[in-house]
Structure 1
Amino acid sequence: MNIRISTTKFALWSSLLVFIISQFLAACGGSSPTSSNKPVDLTLWTYPSAQEVGNPPPDWFFTKEVREKLNINLKVTFVPYGDDGDTKFNAAASANDMPDFFQIPQNNNIFLQWVKLGLIAPVDSLLPMMPQRTKDRYSDPQMRKVATINGKMYVLQEKAGLNKRLGLFIRKDWLDKLHLQPPKTLDDFYNVAKAFTFNDPDGNGKNDTYGFTATTGSGATGLGTNFQGIFGAYGLPGVWNYNTPGKVSLTLRDPNYLKVVEFLKKMSDAHLMDPDWTTLSGPDFRARWSQQGKYGIMPGDFCATICQGNYQPFDVNYPNGVWIPLAPPQGAPGTPVYLGSYSNVGTRIAVSQKALDAGKGPAIAKFLEWTNSGDGYYLAAFGQKGVHYKLDAQGNVTGEGVPVPFYGHEAAPINQIRSLVYNNSEAELKARYNSFKTKNGRTIDPIQIYQTIGTMPWQDQTSAFVIQPAANQGDINRYVDEALVQFITGQKPLNDGTWNAFIKGLDNLNVSDWEAQANQNLKDGGWL
């Protein structure tokens, strides 16, 4: 019996068979016969988790695994923090050579300019391609509002995990030695600081301690975030005053702002602050509290102060020293009190329009979904199993008993993109911020310290993220910062007349226009 099949029918059946096989292989994670095996080239620009430790090695195991598991050639570029990073990004934007996907700079204004220029792609189409990551990270309504511009999402926007990190810390061993209680008001704060300065709290017989010190700066208008706990005594923890419903204004204009400046001048006049406070660098400040034991009260990031590697120099030099979180002092009865302001805006990732036009969207989504959980997550967050971490009997990550623990200095270069994949689960936080014992046997739990700080009063200023900087922001910051330092240190007299002249001087910098713009930004974004 002769069986004859037409060429057309044969082609149809062949196509159907190829389709069925391709779907089967795709479901199994393989490649279809009709797909190209050529890897997709992806460029990722991100900020290093620890810029001081350097980049991963050229033969980084992470990019090798991405190639093998995802068929993606991933090239990672680490961008400098601050102005240098902005310059690098702007140069790429000017050349229309943006990376395929990237961690968005802190300067949101330059990002908005890239959106207007058409360099950034909406990311709505990527969300269905990474369902678990979208559910876990990109479903918060407030964050979707932050990510949306003209009705489209231009940002893969996560909610901040640890957003109440900066606390006030006080030497409990000094309090105990001098039979003092933690200060509850600014008057108490002054008196404790005075005792810490002049009553030899460390018992070395020398006049070498200071009651309180903080460093200036951080890019914000005013003395910076390190002084938030002091300005928060009068309910003014940030740049913007949120205490009047329906509008914002600069905290500088609130009469209570002057009261805080007068308090800091009183502290400075009495020599209760390190005289170098206006010029102290971060490393110098750290050396003076952790190695020289000079300060009794100070602001600090919970981990920079309490985590094992950061706390160790202090523990070596002062094994009986004890730092504890301090609640923000009250400025006056009836005024709100805040330890600081916080924002819910977390990690931000954008995709270039050029990458989407080149058809790289699915590969980007595939990579992000892979690093959201499972092997990809562990590899990016902690390193190689058995080398940098292992799982304990409960399935939790630990660095005990492995050659190069993930939390050690030696392992830091290979975990430089960990901040992109952290999910801030309870198990992860315990691994990242492990409990430890001090030289004298005390147990310190950094997460417990963080949680204690978080229970203190904070002001939500998430919406301030959408406020665009003034055109002359640098001039405004310099004018304000220089004047505050001069008032506090006595270089310029501080009285009602000089203060009013200072506030009036803001008009010469068009600060009122900036405030009007801020309120408009908030209204446009649906925040007011």
Structure 2
Amino acid sequence: MKIGTQKGLPLLLGLIVLILSQLLAACGGSTPSNNPNAPVDLSVWVYPAIPEVAAPPADWELTKVVRQKLNINLKVTLIPTGDDGDAKLNAAAAANDLPDLFQINTSSSSNSTFLKWIDLGLVSPVDKLLPMMPQRTKDRYSNATLNKLMTVNGSLYALQEATPLTKRQGLFIRKDWLDKLGLQPPKTLDDLLKVAEAFTTRDPDGNRKNDTYGFGAYTLSSAPTLGGQFDFIYGAYGLPGVWNTSTPGKISLNLRDPNYLKATEFIKKMADEKVIDPDWTTLKLDDYRARWKQGKYGIFVEDFCAAICQANYQPFDTNNPNGQLVPLNPPQGPDGKAYIGTFSQLGFRMGVSKKAMDGGKGPAIAKLMEWLNSGEGYYLAGFGKEGVNYKLDSQGNISTEGLAVPFTAHEVGPSIQIRNMVLNGTTPELKVRYPSFKTKNGRMIDPINVYQTFAAMPSLDVTSNFAIKTAANQGDVNRYVDEGLIQFVTGQKPLNDSSWNTFVKGLDGLGVSDWENSAQQSLQEKGLLNK
């Protein structure tokens, strides 16, 4: 056959097409997804660090740098807070379309959902990522307890960090009221009641009105307790939080301990003496905060920054220029016990979809996370542009002095929405995030000093309890306990040994014993049950 003949030309062209197609197939084609030099598309979903501001801008500096230096096309999506965020993640999981890398809420319900995703094969183990990001692993993923919590069937399924600030919440007391009334900070529960009575009845603000309360509170029924506002009172009886692990090899609800009744009786006494804001059973968090900022409460429980950081403290300072909020040690109970409450080491955590890992995106995820851990990535994601939003002083500490648009400015918020992926809780970092300031009358307030004071107070570590799965009817259990305790405290039901025993026995009708057995089994399986 002669190549140049008309007859042979179509055959020749067909052979060329066949050979080229086979070569392209063998090489994987020339599409970017199979080109080893092509950027990797990486989708990341996280909760916003600053919910009240917008998402990162279209011309975000961080995505440009990540593309140039890491060869990654980064697409960040902010997960809505609350129920909308849960719905968004659940919808993605139902469609087998979870993002490559995604943040997991640390609530018990979110953890239960995450475990279901693991069972369904939607989430990938992350063990093999750890050696790819050695410094971040050393700094953030080396906590044995946290890793046990995230281990299922011998494999690690989440990149779990310890929280930089574990004991944020504590008791505040109005020192100016103590001074005016000639009182000392209460050291015991009996002292607390006496001081609260004085704050309620002796016009500590001097306005000649009966408008102050010794203690302010609100309820939150997301767990079978009255909420964290009363934890220090149950802590005075050795029973803060939900679970009792004081008996080696056993776990049960604190409610079953006889001292839980005694603590509830003390709260009822406070209510009977009218030293608690009578609206405490219906107040929402915003209402509660509005009242202490108005100067209505002498003693209250609050997050250190929500009370004492400059922007949050300003309304209180405006309404009470001579007011002084200072930390109060948790009062001791009849046996000398004292806990401000409970705390968990659980912090920021991320999961990786199985689709992403199967698609070969593991190395890109590890590269991104390692880059964000320190150096340029840390500063850019956490504080914005150097010389514009932050600068480093001669000691290498972060500073905003003299900058027109510091990272603390509202307009910088969108550019640091993923800062929770990088923050590490070092003292220099905390000092610049929570700076000292002067009040209207010239007093200096140091929020980090207040935090450190709270952190030194006795508190019960309940990190291991995160292994406990929620009850199938958790909402019913929470409502039963919350409503029952409120009825006892407010006098809607008599509080005595008989009524209390009936109340506790009612838990059995909700299958709480099965929940306790499940909790014990979960802790035993992970080697986290007290021995």
Same fold (TM over 0.5): yes
- In 1, Cα distance between the equivalents of 2:365 and 2:392? 29
Q: Which moved more, 1:403-412 or 1:384-393?
A: 403-412
Unmatched 5+ stretches in structure 1: 1-33
What residue in structure 2 maps to residue 400 of structure 1? 401
What residue in structure 2 maps to residue 452 of structure 1? 453
Answer with 1 or 2: which has the greater Rg.
Answer: 2
- In 2, Cα distance between the equivalents of 1:404 and 1:185? 48
What residue in structure 1 maps to residue 235 of structure 2? 232
Give matches, 1:133-172, under 5 Å: 133-172=136-175
Report the AA paired with residue 86 of structure 2: D
Give matches, 1:127-138, under 5 Å: 127-138=130-141
SS at match of 1:76: strand
Deviation at 1:299, TM superposition (A): 0.3
- In 2, Cα distance between the equivalents of 1:367 and 1:466? 29
Deviations 1:345-383 (A, max 9, x none): 221111111001111111111110111001110011111
Report the AA paired with residue 140 of structure 2: R
What residue in structure 1 maps to residue 11 of structure 2? none
What residue in structure 2 maps to residue 66 of structure 1? 66
Runs ≥4 in structure 1, deviation > 3 angstroms?
34-37
- Could you tell me which of 306, 309, 325 is aligned with 2:308? 306
Q: 1:155·1:349 contact (CA, 8 Å) conserved in 2?
A: yes
- In 2, Cα distance between the equivalents of 1:241 and 1:144? 23
Report the AA paired with residue 404 of structure 2: P
Q: 2:186·2:331 contact (CA, 8 Å) conserved in 1?
A: yes
What residue in structure 2 maps to residue 285 of structure 1? 288
Deviations 1:276-329 (A, max 9, x none): 111212221121111x11010000111111111111111222221111111111
- In 2, Cα distance between the equivalents of 1:215 and 1:48? 26
SS at match of 1:339: coil
Output the aligned Cα RMSD. Answer: 1.5
Q: 1:105·1:111 contact (CA, 8 Å) conserved in 2?
A: no
Q: 2:221·2:482 contact (CA, 8 Å) conserved in 1?
A: no
Q: 2:225·2:478 contact (CA, 8 Å) conserved in 1?
A: yes
- In 1, Cα distance between the equivalents of 2:82 and 2:234? 26
Deviations 1:85-141 (A, max 9, x none): 222211111110011011112221111111111111111111121111111111222
- In 1, Cα distance between the equivalents of 2:272 and 2:55? 46
- Could you tell me which of 323, 326, 332 is aligned with 1:324? 326
1:226–1:60: structure 2 CA closer, same or farther, 3 Å change rule? Answer: farther
- In 1, Cα distance between the equivalents of 2:527 and 2:83? 30
What residue in structure 2 maps to residue 333 of structure 1? 335
TM-score by structure 2 length?
0.90
Aligned residues: 493
What residue in structure 2 maps to residue 120 of structure 1? 123
Deviation at 1:260, TM superposition (A): 1.6
- In 2, Cα distance between the equivalents of 1:159 and 1:474? 28
Q: 1:233·1:338 contact (CA, 8 Å) conserved in 2?
A: yes
Report the AA paired with residue 465 of structure 2: A
1:510–1:218: structure 2 CA closer, same or farther, 3 Å change rule? Answer: closer
Give matches, 1:221-300, under 5 Å: 221-290=224-293, 292-300=294-302
Deviation at 1:218, TM superposition (A): 5.9
- In 1, Cα distance between the equivalents of 2:485 and 2:327? 27
Report the AA paired with residue 66 of structure 1: V
Residues 1:205 and 2:208 aligned together: yes
Deviation at 1:37, TM superposition (A): 4.1
SS at match of 2:52: helix
What residue in structure 1 maps to residue 29 of structure 2? none
Q: Which moved more, 1:58-67 or 1:395-404?
A: 58-67
Deviation at 1:389, TM superposition (A): 1.2
What residue in structure 2 maps to residue 20 of structure 1? none
- In 2, Cα distance between the equivalents of 1:196 and 1:400? 41
1:215–1:400: structure 2 CA closer, same or farther, 3 Å change rule? Answer: farther
Q: 1:218·1:225 contact (CA, 8 Å) conserved in 2?
A: no
